[in-house]
Every structure is written in C-alpha cells, then in structure tokens.
Structure 1
C-alpha cells in the first residue's frame, strides 16, 4: 500500500507553509514513520533548511528523505516516494501554477495553514477551491495563533462557513519554531518540552487519522 501524501498548500504568502511542512514531516518521523519531504516551491526554503539540517545532524539528516523538484518531474517524484515512505509531505508553490495543481492532485490530504486574521481567512478561499476542483479532501490548520483567543475563535467560526474540516490542534506564534528552523531542526528536536513541540506533536497525531 502506498504511503499517505500530505500536501501543504496556501496561495497566500506568509502563512508559514514551509515551516509547517518541515515540522509536520519531522513530527511524523519522530513517531517512527518513514517520511519523505518534497520541496516543489521555487523559493526553495526547505532546500536551504535541509542543508542546515545536514550540518546540524549529519549527512543522514536524522533519517528524513528529502527531494527538491519542480516542473514535469514533480508528480513522478511524489509517486515514487509514496511507494517507499509511510508519509510524503509536499511543500507546494504559493500560487495556482501548474506545480501547485500537481501537488494538490497528488495529495491524499491537502493541509492548508492560515493565520487567524480576516485577510488571511479571506485569502484561503482560492486554495480551498483548488482542492475542491481536484477532488481532494482538505483540512485547515490555524497557524501563528496569537494569545488573543477571542479573535482566533471568531476567525475559526468564519472558516467554519467554508464547510471544511478545521484541525483541533493549533500552532501558536512561537519563537521556538523560527529558532529551530534556523538550525535545520524543528521544535520537537530543538526544545522537546516546549509548548511549540507539544502543538506540533498534537497536530501530527491528528492528521495521521484524517483522510
């Protein structure tokens, strides 16, 4: 049976897409799963992160499989990795280009990060439309959540109008995420007992059950 493909997609920039993809991949890896991370975003954020990871850990990068690929090879790469890994996490381009459609089409589940602010909530609609057009299930993840619970709950209620699943686990606006990424790591590796680490682990556990 092929592995599960989780495509992290969001057409609006600044939603924390690449950070979420890296953290989700490593969280699954720490659950003793074989995980591949694929960067098909031309900005190559994850490619730079993975290089830092190899320097921080070693050439094996902690057992995480990584590929950076764009264009016509993207779909085939994801398909091949899905035959080898339990999970394939794909970081897709931020716009509705061909590569973004390929990434969504390859997904078993489209994971859409959004910050809990009105502009971010409004901007999520095109990504949801793309997932719907490709007939792929989607889940929204509230990311970079500020301490102001009232606004977050209001935005979550608004997202509920879109008739899409919203993950119960939320990721806060925490320094540990950025600090870990700078070292090629993730919060569960960098600060295992931090709130950021607990949030990522909870999200990974939840998404493993959603499809």
Structure 2
C-alpha cells in the first residue's frame, strides 16, 4: 500500500511552510506512523532543520527518513519512499511554479498555510489554482495566527471556485515553534504540554482524517 502524501505548498513566501512541514511530520511520527520528508525548496530550510536534528538526536534517533531532490525527481522519490512509509511530507518551493506543480500533483492532500488576513488568504490563489488543475484537494491552514485575529468562513467562501477547505485547527504565532527548530526538534518534543504542541497534534489528526 502506498503512502499518504501531504504537500505543504504556498507560492507566497514567509508563510511558515517548512516549520509546519517539520511539525506535522513529527506529530505523525508520534502517532506511530513511518514518515518521510522530501525537501524540494531551494532555500533548504527543512534540510538544515533535519541536519540539526541528526546532530541533536543521532541518525537513528531522528526517527524520520529524509531526502532532498530537485523538482523533476520528486515523483520518483515519492514513489520510492511511499513503498516503505505510511506518510510522505513534501516541502515545496515558493515562487517556482514548475516544481510546485510537480509536488502538488504527487499529493493526496495539499496543505496551504496562510496568515489570517485577507491579503494573505488571497495570495493563496495561485497555489489553489495549481491544486485545482492537478485535481489535488487543498486545505488552507491558518498559521502564525496572532491573538484576537479572525478570519471568517465567508472570506474562504470567496475562494469557492477551488476545491478548498479551511482546517478547523489553526496554529498560533508562538515562540515555541521557532525555538524548537534551532536544534532540529519541534515544540512537540521541547514543550509537549504547550499550546503549540496541542495545536499541531489537533491539525495532524484533522488532516489524516481527510484522507
């Protein structure tokens, strides 16, 4: 049985894509899933995080499989990893339509992080258009949500031309996320009882439920 593939995609930079990909991967790892990460983002943020993780925990302790590929090799990498893992998480690049399209095509679900403002949500449209063309269902995840922020279902409904939903679970703008990433860990490992960890667990559970 092939793996479930989640592609974290957002054509707009600065959406917290790599941090979200790493945290979701570890959340599923803690649910006893075998998880592989695929980094096709030329910024290589996820690669640097994984290197720090191996330095902190050792190769065996890292718990995740990891590969860094160029866009056109993504499909084969996903197929190979999918034979031996329950879940594959792809971190796709911003501002690179061809590579992002390949990653979206490979996905069972496209996870689209967005900060909770009309401008940020509207900036998801190019990603949603790609997902729609590739017939890959997309889910917008409100990320880096500041206190008292609000985003209505009506705003998401304006994106109704696309096969998109809004995740019930949202992710706050919390220091625990960035702090944990420095050493290749996640808030689930450094502060497992924190609100940050609770939010990630809720999102990971919700996304798996959509498969």
TM-score normalised over the length of structure 2: 0.95
Residues paired across the two proteins, number: 208
Match of 2:151 among 150, 153, 160: 153
CA RMSD of aligned residues (A): 1.1
What is residue 141 of structure 2 aligned with on the other side? 141
Map residues 169-180 of structure 1 onto 2, 5 A cutoff. 169-180=169-180
5+ residue gaps, structure 2, are none
Q: Deviation above 3 Å: which 4+ runs of structure 1?
A: none
What is residue 15 of structure 2 aligned with on the other side? 15
Structure 1 distance, partners of 2:198, 2:62, is 20
Structure 2 distance, partners of 1:18, 1:195, is 19
* Residues 5 and 109 in structure 1, CA contact (< 8 A), matched pair in contact too: yes
Q: CA deviation at 1:183?
A: 1.1
What is residue 73 of structure 2 aligned with on the other side? 73
Per-residue CA deviations over 1:139-191 (Å, capped at 9, x if unaligned) read: 11000011114xx234x431232132110000000000000111100110110
TM-score normalised over the length of structure 1: 0.95
What is residue 162 of structure 1 aligned with on the other side? 159
* Residues 71 and 100 in structure 2, CA contact (< 8 A), matched pair in contact too: no
Structure 1 distance, partners of 2:154, 2:56, is 41
Map residues 17-32 of structure 1 onto 2, 5 A cutoff. 17-32=17-32
Structure 2 distance, partners of 1:160, 1:144, is 21
